[in-house]
Amino acid sequence: MADPATTVGEPWGPSEVPTTALLTDHYELTMLRAAFQSGTADRRCVFELFPRKLPDGRRYGVVAGVGRALRALSHFRFDDESRQFLLDRGIVDQQTADWLADFRFSGQIWGYAEGEMFFPGSPLMVVESTFAEAVLLETVLLSIYNHDSAIASAASRMTAVADGRPCLEMGARRTQELSAVAAARAAYIAGFDGTSSLEAGRRYGVPTIGTAAHAFTLLHDNERDAFTAQIAALGEDTTLLVDTYDVDEAVRTAVELTGGKIGSVRLDSGDLPVQAKHVRSLLDSLGAIHTKIIVTSDLDEWQIAALSGAPVDGYGVGTALVTGSGHPTCGFVYKMVARATSDEPDAPMIHVAKKSASKATIGGRKYAVRSYDSRGVADAEVIGIDKEPTVESGRDLLVPLVTDGEIVGREPLAAARERHRKAFAELPLAASKMSRGEPVLETVFV
């Protein structure tokens, strides 16, 4: 219920995020407070972050957000302002606030590495620590994983069907301004070649791309003036947007101004397969046989598939990518799966699980292996409960991310991108089907 004592302040807080600790749900803090009350806060626990299922019809998912989550963890501190806020609102008592002042996660985290594939029930993250430490991380870990993996999962389908043609991320304007930066990063992991987002370039080193919008043509007295200005500033290798007025005339002007050397032309409207074929013929007839054609109008994986037979050299994808192509969140959950029977440090662990039929959880600490058939093609997601599963051929999926509170899972973004490429290549061929279907790997609990 709304707290009637709360006054609603100015919407002009800082744009900085000095700590990630308040990117947390209220109830994590009240649970902490109540656990101190009952003396259970220090019970050893295992929490697991996992998908109950894939979105309907999807055949695999792609893990993204690991690097961002580790960074968020390293900034997860309850500074003076945060603690004062929690005390002022009556969310925590003084004892809890004092404990928070010294809080640093000191436990263990294993997880699927970034860029890896996932399936229903894959234990994407296994967090082992006290209840107090593990419960606080729930919201921020889920936020990052649910968003970034939704984008990477959609992006991977797009790059799969693009089949080697470059995919370019251009969706910043269609999603929250910082989600845009995270989305560009996730898309890059899943095989996109560049992004329109400058902040994704600065922060993560993703290659950035872009030349001009319709406004640039409209600014000038005629299209020829606009093209001339753009070529003078950006060179003949630039991409000219040719659909502001008449496409044929624009293409002729572009070729004429560069002696046939214009780098690319971009189509942003109309019937793209037909347009692309027509423009290719026109370019070729004018001698501009090396000029590329980029298309960018409301593309998604099905549109990309529909363009596979058209003479297109690159796809710019916006809305569909940054909204997860129909599935903007993964529905990952973070559940307690085991706990110690008492508060003693060496108390034995028992499985725990909520019993509601529709949201049942499988208790116990998980281990995960992707098993291969005799040809080296992935054939199952094998999840061991309380023990490592043994398979004839396969590889472990859980890697150490945090050891005794120290972050050990950092890696360059390029490593995640390369992992995605390899992990996709291992999947059965049905993984790249656009039709709706079952997950390409069955999850087997052993």
Residues 169-188 that bind a second copy (CB under 8 A): 170, 172-182, 185, 188
Q: Is 311 in the site for a second copy (CB under 8 A)?
A: no
Q: Is 314 in the site for a second copy (CB under 8 A)?
A: yes
Q: Give 127's strand partners.
A: 47, 109
> Could you say which residues in the range 79-98 bind a second copy, by CB under 8 A?
81-82, 85-86, 89, 91, 93
Q: Is 436 in the site for a second copy (CB under 8 A)?
A: no
Secondary structure (3-state) at 438 = coil
Q: Is 164 in the site for a second copy (CB under 8 A)?
A: no
Q: Which of 143, 149, 291, 371 binds a second copy (CB under 8 A)?
A: 143
Look up residue 19 and give its two tokens.
């700590």
Q: Is 104 in the site for a second copy (CB under 8 A)?
A: no
- Cβ–Cβ under 8 Å, residues 32 and 135: yes
Q: Is 17 in the site for a second copy (CB under 8 A)?
A: yes
Q: How far is the CB of 51 from a second copy (least distance, A)?
A: 12
| Residue 161: closest CA among 439, 423, 435, 441 | 435
What would the DSSP string read from start to end of 362-374? Answer: --S-EEEEEEE-T
Q: How far is the CB of 233 from a second copy (least distance, A)?
A: 4
Look up residue 256 and give its two tokens.
């004429």
Q: How far is the CB of 440 from a second copy (least distance, A)?
A: 25
Cα–Cα dist 115/420, whole Å? 4
Nearer to a second copy, 330 or 368 (CB): 330
- Cβ–Cβ under 8 Å, residues 431 and 369: no
Cα–Cα dist 55/77, whole Å? 34
Q: How far is the CB of 217 from a second copy (least distance, A)?
A: 8
Q: Which of 129, 149, 197, 291 binds a second copy (CB under 8 A)?
A: 197
Nearer to a second copy, 139 or 371 (CB): 139
* Piece in contact with a second copy (CB under 8 A), picked from 200-208, 377-385, 398-406, 432-440: 200-208
Strand order in the sheet with 394-396: 394-396, 366-372, 378-385, 442-445
Nearer to a second copy, 168 or 305 (CB): 168
* Piece in contact with a second copy (CB under 8 A), picked from 51-59, 164-172, 369-377, 436-444: 164-172
Q: How far is the CB of 296 from a second copy (least distance, A)?
A: 11
Strands 167-169 and 117-118: unpaired
> Could you say which residues in the range 342-361 bind a second copy, by CB under 8 A?
352-359
Q: Is 240 in the site for a second copy (CB under 8 A)?
A: no
| Residue 116: closest CA among 158, 149, 88, 161 | 149
